[in-house]
Structures are given as structure tokens and as C-alpha cells.
A and B are shown apart, each in its own frame.
Chain A
Amino acid sequence: DAGVIQSPRHEVTEMGQEVTLRCKPISGHDYLFWYRQTMMRGLELLIYFNNNVPIDDSGMPEDRFSAKMPNASFSTLKIQPSEPRDSAVYFCASSFAGQTYEQYFGPGTRLTVT
């Protein structure tokens, strides 16, 4: 298996622009997670899905952030409009409930908002 795939790997955008991050989970996994990592705050869970349904989005910082999972093999995290404080590395992870919460992380998308 190719593992969790994220795109793009790097994104540089100007403040106010829309940013869309993409994730393809491992085939057969029924949980998908979006995380944000910064030097100041470490890793933070933003939102997670189970069987394509958002279960908990309490970690989403504000209404500018939205996430969707239209099918079992694809998810997006959108920021509109973007701000410099959104600069971070965004990770997607997936897991299968039968594996005792083992999560497999993608390589991350490094977002820089200028």
C-alpha cells in the first residue's frame, strides 16, 4: 500500500486566498483525521471522520476552516480566506478501528501564508 497520500507537499499563498489541501487515506481505513502542527502549539487534532461522516470538528479553529470527505478515498481541508497565522504543517492520518487506534500519518503539507 502507498500509505496516506497528501497533496500538495508545499503551498505558498498570499493572505486572503483560498487554500485546499487534499488527502487520500489508506484503502480500507474507516477513520480519517486532519491535524495541524506548529512549533508553538505542537500537534492539534482539527477534525476526524468515521465512515466519511464528520464526528468531531471541535478542533477546527474558526469558520474559515472546513473539511469534507465525499467518499472513502478522498478528503479535503479548505481554508478561506487564509491568514498568516494559518502557516503550519497540516497532516492527514487514517486508521482502522480494528487496529486499536493505530494511526498512519501522511507526509504533511507545509502551508505558508504571506
Chain B
Amino acid sequence: KNQVEQSPQSLIILEGKNCTLQCNYTVSPFSNLRWYKQDTGRGPVSLTIMTFSENTKSNGRYTATLDADTKQSSLHITASQLSDSASYICVVTPSGGYQKVTFGTGTKLQVIP
């Protein structure tokens, strides 16, 4: 069964600090891995998309890495801001299309002053 597991479930950090969120998956073969940010009460917004051949992708202060051998991805947030408080969801799409696209349950990040 395809699975995507994220850790930690929740995280509290001080404003200005860095943090790293983890995503482990069993989907294979896979087409792409996406990280989404979801603010409370809003729809998810795409941060990064990586295909199986990519190792890293950046979007401003967000940097995602992918190790296809170990089936692990991480999302690193640099110099966190209060506006980074949100849930971060890892999503893996298998090869062949959107069938059985698998979502992680998310990491809830709270940035405090």
C-alpha cells in the first residue's frame, strides 16, 4: 500500500530560526513529489514540485530535497517568519497519472515571536 509519512506532526519554533520537515514515502515508481503550504481555513498552495530525477528545489526561503534511493524528502525553512505558521503537506504522485496520488497527513508548524 502506498504511504506517505510526515514528521514531526507538529512543531513550534521561534521567529528567525530554521527548521526541517520530513517526508518518507513508499510510492514506487513515482512521478513527482510536491510540498504544499496550507494556511488555516484556506486551500493548499504549492511550494515545490520535484520529479524523480531532481535532488533539490528552492522557492525563496523554502528548499526541498529529495533522495529517491531512500525515498525521503525534506522541506527546509530558513529564517522563519510568523507567516510561515501553517500546515505543510507532502504529496506523492505515482507514475502513470493521478491515480492513487498519496497525501501525507501534514506537519503543523507554529512560529512564535
Q: Residues on A close to B: CB < 8 A?
A: 4, 31, 33, 42-45, 48, 55-56, 58, 91, 93, 100-108
CB-based contact A107/B42 at 8 Å: yes
Which residues of chain B are within 8 angstroms of A93 by Cβ–Cβ distance?
A: 43
Whether a CB of chain A sits under 8 angstroms from the CB of B26 is no
Candidates B44, B98, B105; contact of A45 at CB < 8 Å: B98
CB-based contact A91/B49 at 8 Å: no
- Given A43-B103, A108-B43; 11 other pairs, CB 8 A cutoff: A42-B89, A42-B103, A43-B89, A45-B98, A55-B97, A91-B44, A101-B98, A105-B45, A106-B43, A108-B41, A108-B42
Which residues of chain A are within 8 angstroms of B43 by Cβ–Cβ distance?
A: 4, 91, 93, 105-108
Q: Residues on B close to A: CB < 8 A?
A: 31-32, 34, 41-46, 49, 51, 89, 91, 93, 97-99, 101, 103-106
- Known contacts A42-B104, A42-B106, A43-B89; decide if A102 and B46 are in contact (CB<8 Å): yes
Candidates A56, A102, A107; contact of B98 at CB < 8 Å: A56
CB-based contact A100/B49 at 8 Å: yes
**Bound CA span A104–B49, Å:** 13
> Quick one: closest B residue to A41, CB to CB?
B105
